[in-house]
Structure 1
Amino acid sequence: MTEPRETAFTSFLKDFAENVGKFHKGANVLAGIRDEDVDVGATPKTLVMRRDKVELFRYEPTAKRTVETPVLIVYSLVGRYTIADLQSDRSLVRSLLAEGTDLWLIDWGKPGRTERWLMMDDYVDDYIHQAVHRICRETGHDKVTLLGICQGGVFATCYAALHPEKVKNLILTITPIDFHADIDDPAAIQGLLNIWIRSLAPEDIDRMVNALGGVIPGEFMSSIFSLMRPMHSLTKYNVGLFDIVDDKDRLMNFLRMEKWLADRPDHPGEAGRRWLKELYQENRLAEGRFELSGRIVDLRAIDMPVLNIYARDDHIIPPACSKALGGKIGSTDYTEIPHPSGHVGLFVSSESQGKPAKTIAEWLQARDG
């Protein structure tokens, strides 16, 4: 006797039963996970200095030192540095330590309304400057290598231009320099953030910051980034999460990323005004008109070796905005390396693991004499 042929409805019932079982298994996995289990930024480090809410850390070494000049990570104010140390097997920090670097970190903390008046001048000429002096005092070196990430790369670039005597090497990752370089880029999707910010009237930016209490809330910035990839944002908690909910390792990867996204701090309003108006809208840095602490940031003053790593599929910082650096600095030792990833994927994608760190370490070893 032949078995009855499977109909569309019986196929639906079969899939439904399998999915219900998967959901229950996933629910049990989720029920056993606590907040402290989703650990990000867990690589051991020691607090060396605190200034206001800003902290300077030194990471504990994990391998024989191959690069003597200390490397200071300068991250963005828009997010938390933990994306560079998301988990043990997806960590630029751990990979750099494994390559033998003396690694330091400046952590901006979580600015609030009491920091609303902080300017970019304060971050570059006060916090970074004091951190560099402390590192030099602790290590006996007279210079450091700056490793800037995204907005932190702009801060590092400005510092290197204003204080070239304190910077031995400048390394930038996914860093915008020419904020208008994407205007003629046919891949418009890579410049949606630029297009939106340039479309705002300067007085609208002031109204926005004032209405939000003098800061740009992290939740507000998160919503902007989510709108840049609407379908991904709409489906990751149902379709995407459902596909991995019964796999604890993949689920933990997902939760760590979500914890980083949810940990976006508020951005000081005064620094934000200048960031949006003078850089995104007026493009003053690339045009040699950007001023910090009463001095013009002259990119031609950057005469130290420069390594510029950008992401080819970056939808937040268009590659053209990063690549523009090479033609504006004074250094003859300039290296530009594209990476086949997106903005965040440069640090956390499985294909990226170890590659940026190895590139950085080899580049530094060749210049650490």
Structure 2
Amino acid sequence: MSTAADTPFALPDIAVDMAAEIERAIQRNLKGLDFLTTAAPAVGQTPKDEIHRRGTLSLYHYRPMADEIYRVPLLIVMATTNRGYILDLAPGQSMVEHLLLQGYDVYMMDWNAPRPQEKYLRIEDYVLDFIPDSIRRVQERSGEEDVTLVGYCMGGVLSTLYAALHPGGPMKNLALFTTPIDFSRMKLFHAWSDRRYFDVDRLIDTVGNVPPEMLFASFDMLRPAGRSAGMVQLWDNMDNDEFVKSYRMFDRWGNEMLPLAGEYFRQTVKELMWGNKLHKGELVIGGQKVQLKNIRVPVLHALAQHDHIVPYEAGQPLVAGVGSTDKEEVVLKGGHVSLAAGPNAVRRLWPKLDEWLGVRST
């Protein structure tokens, strides 16, 4: 027969631990109820002015936050599927705010859902119309001829195409994050867009613009267990207010994907994904062949170590292929989103971007 002396834990200690765990479970349930019944936190709060809007495009100018401003303005080009507030989540968690506080003059090409009549938009429309028109408006508003392009993901692809087709300027610098060049290395995207089973022509001819639900499902396929794992992590941290706030902001952004213009999607699948024409040097935009070697401005490309959307192998050919003598590739800890937004970005990408831009923006 065992005695109290043989018991490894005293009963009062077990009771205290059980009471603490029960209390934590109660608090998590209360927080969970609050999570379900309250509005998501506000995002994109950095003061800005919409200086131009045309169809799917909104061009914003963020109001300065520093007394001294760098001469060369920055124009951020977002992917057409994503809302730009991922770079402006909240005070203290905003790349835009960080750049403004360092003295940069920041503009952003953000996107709205394309209208049905915009289903005919092609890569040419973004590269040869929207970007040049936005640059011209930035020049007019800033009074400066030079402009730095900052492109994120497919926004980086559009920026790269523009740079290659306009070697004479007025672009001063090209800073890119997680930008794919060799689309053959994006294995999981190739799996779901396998031409043997995926009839892109039938899809676009039927639906026009590609609905966000389809895009959302395709990203979920890249990490099938990701959403469930995220919910488990959320529950484990439900009593951590800062974690919950951050989770809700990222979750909101992830769920607010935009439709893709139909012809743009068709062209991306056929020419970039299937044909890999950008990497091969065979891509023709507006009658001009895109050659990375024509890019001669300073180039920075930041890639993420754990990017499941744009693996390192897909982005690596960019810096190797441009004709610039001033070029740099950096590989930082993080994933496709956490590279640019969140606590990881605050410590790694943002300081690096400021360091790189600072000496090239005067």
CA shift for structure 1 position 14: 6.2
- Correspondence 1:107-126 to 2 at 5 A: 107-126=110-129
Moved more, 349-358 or 329-338: 349-358
**Structure 1 residue ranges (4+ consecutive) displaced by more than 4 angstroms after TM superposition:** 1-6, 10-16
Structure 2 counterpart SS, 1:309? strand
Match of 1:208 in 2: 203
2:290 aligned residue (293, 297, 303): 297
Within the alignment, does 1:284 sit opposite 2:257 as a pair?
no
Greater relative contact order (Cα 8 A, min sep 6): structure 1 or 2?
A: 1
- Identity percentage over the alignment? 32
The one-letter amino acid paired with 1:146 is L
- Correspondence 1:221-260 to 2 at 5 A: 221-237=215-231, 239-260=232-253
The one-letter amino acid paired with 1:21 is I
1:360 aligned residue (319, 335, 353): 353
Count of matched residue pairs: 354
Match of 1:139 in 2: 142
Distance, in Å, in 2 between the alignment partners of 1:154 and 1:162 is 12
1:193 aligned residue (188, 196, 219): 188
**Cα pair 2:113 2:258 within 8 Å, conserved:** yes
CA shift for structure 1 position 16: 7.7
Structure 2 counterpart SS, 1:147? strand
TM-score scaled to structure 2, two decimals? 0.90
2:325 aligned residue (327, 332, 355): 332
Structure 2 counterpart SS, 1:216? coil
Moved more, 20-29 or 287-296: 20-29
1:33 aligned residue (35, 38, 59): 38
**Cα pair 1:116 1:215 within 8 Å, conserved:** yes
1:53 aligned residue (34, 56, 72): 56
Deviations along 1:126-180, whole A, 9 cap, x unmatched? 1111000111111121121000000000000011111232211111110001212
**Cα pair 1:40 1:260 within 8 Å, conserved:** no
**Cα pair 2:238 2:244 within 8 Å, conserved:** yes
Structure 2 unaligned runs (5+)? none
Distance, in Å, in 1 between the alignment partners of 2:235 and 2:189 is 33
CA shift for structure 1 position 112: 3.6
Moved more, 320-329 or 301-310: 320-329
Within the alignment, does 1:319 sit opposite 2:312 as a pair?
yes
**Cα pair 2:56 2:111 within 8 Å, conserved:** yes
Structure 1 unaligned runs (5+)? 183-190
Match of 1:186 in 2: none
Q: Give RMSD over aligned pairs.
A: 2.5
Structure 1 counterpart SS, 2:215? helix
